[in-house]
Amino acid sequence: MTANWTELGDRCWVRRYPEWDLNIGVVAGSAGVLVIDTHATVSYATSLLDDVRQLVPGSEVRWAVNTHAHFDHTFGNSVFADAGVTVISQENAAAQLLERGPLLQQRYVENPGVDPDFPTIPADVIAEIAVAPVVAASETFAVAKVIDLGDRRVELLHLGNGHTDGDIVVLVPDADVIFTGDLVESSGPPSYGDDCYPLDWPDTLDRIVGLLTATTRVVPGHGPVVDAEFVRDQGGEIGSVANNISGLHHNGATLDYALRHDEWPYPTAQLADAVRRGYEQLGGVRRTLPMA
């Protein structure tokens, strides 16, 4: 371990930042350094860039990758872009950041000081998020991209929708490490927001499992590093959510009834957006049974 960085494999590190229990990845090669996610504010990102430069002194930070569009992973993009770093994301994530980022900021401007979704965020941090420059990736891709770090490669893969429609995993083959962003979470239940794809998510996780070995270190978006078994187990739970939504819809349950359903692997209150999004994807309500 170097300071607060944990080396998971050859020149491949992770650091858990206490804000949002956020994992930031670093991969170094002979041609430069790649950073995975850029944090949530200008000040956090500035500190992050300093931390990375101290971790790999003498090496140029050349690439920053967004695992998806959410602010805690992307609102530091401007700091990296201003430093000459190439910021990369899946094309849907870049578009979503430009569309949804300002809407989040406007919500903070209109309701300063508190975020009901993240009640532990201090008021001064919310104020900083509200004015952070929203900078999307300068390079995007659709399905896959390989970054040549000189003596090694890093693979960026969009394996399907799940937490959002722009999720990617970052695979470091020679270190047997994969960074999954919020497709996998170990600090708590997976986060189903109003841009999630609950019915697609299980298949996307199946594809991730197909990339793993018995020794792969899996870095979730938030929380401790996990292994393939953890991903399989969480995939089963996410599959159960999808099956429940599909079953309720197929049986004619109204949306209100489905929102009151309590047979889930996660707390019901955390699945409201998942149920709504699933019903939207399935085309509304099939009224075949007299469910209230």
* pLDDT (0 to 100) of residue 1: 43
* Residue 241 within any structural domain of the chain: no
* pLDDT (0 to 100) of residue 290: 42
* Residue 106 within any structural domain of the chain: yes
Res. 292: pLDDT tops 80 = no
Q: What is the pLDDT of residues 37-86, one digit of tens each?
A: 999 999 999 999 999 999 999 999 999 999 999 999 999 999 999 999 99
Element (H, E) at 16: strand 12-17
Res. 207: pLDDT tops 70 = yes
Res. 118: pLDDT tops 80 = no
Number of structural domains, the chain?
Answer: 1
Query: Taking residues 174-197, what's their average pLDDT?
Result: 97
Report whether 66 contacts 38 (CB < 8 A). Answer: yes
Q: What is the pLDDT of residues 222-261, one digit of tens each?
A: 999 999 999 999 999 999 999 999 999 999 999 999 999 9
Q: Find all residues with CB under 8 Å of 99, minimum gap 6, and list them.
A: none
* pLDDT (0 to 100) of residue 115: 79
* DSSP letter, residue 170: E
Query: According to the 3-state scheme, what is the secondary structure of 211-271?
Result: CCCCCCEEEECECCCECHHHHHHHHHHHHHHHHHHHHHHHCCCCHHHHHHCCCCCCCHHHH
> Could you give the 3-state DSSP secondary structure of residue 172?
strand
Rg, the chain, Cα only:
19
The neighbour count for residue 286, using CB atoms within 10 Å, is: 13
DSSP readout, 18-74?
TGGGEEEEEEEETTEEEEE---SSHHHHHHHHHHHHHHSTT--EEEEE-SSS-HHHH
* Residue 193 within any structural domain of the chain: yes
Res. 21: pLDDT tops 50 = yes
Report whether 183 contacts 170 (CB < 8 A). Answer: no
Higher pLDDT, 275 or 1: 275
Most confident option among 73-77, 122-126, 288-292: 73-77
Element (H, E) at 179: strand 177-181
Measured CA to CA, the distance from residue 201 to residue 217 in angstroms comes to 21
Confidence of residue 286 (pLDDT cuts 50, 70, 90): low
* Residue 130 within any structural domain of the chain: yes
The mean pLDDT of the chain is 95
Q: Domain limits at 130?
A: 6-227
* Residue 197 within any structural domain of the chain: yes
Name the pTM for this structure: 0.95
* Residue 189 within any structural domain of the chain: yes
Confidence of residue 121 (pLDDT cuts 50, 70, 90): confident
| 10: CATH | 3.60.15.10
Res. 2: pLDDT tops 50 = yes
* Residue 82 within any structural domain of the chain: yes
Report whether 172 contacts 10 (CB < 8 A). Answer: no
The total number of residues shown for the chain amounts to 292
The neighbour count for residue 244, using CB atoms within 10 Å, is: 20
Q: What is the pLDDT of residues 129-184, one digit of tens each?
A: 999 999 999 999 999 999 999 999 999 999 999 999 999 999 999 999 999 999 99
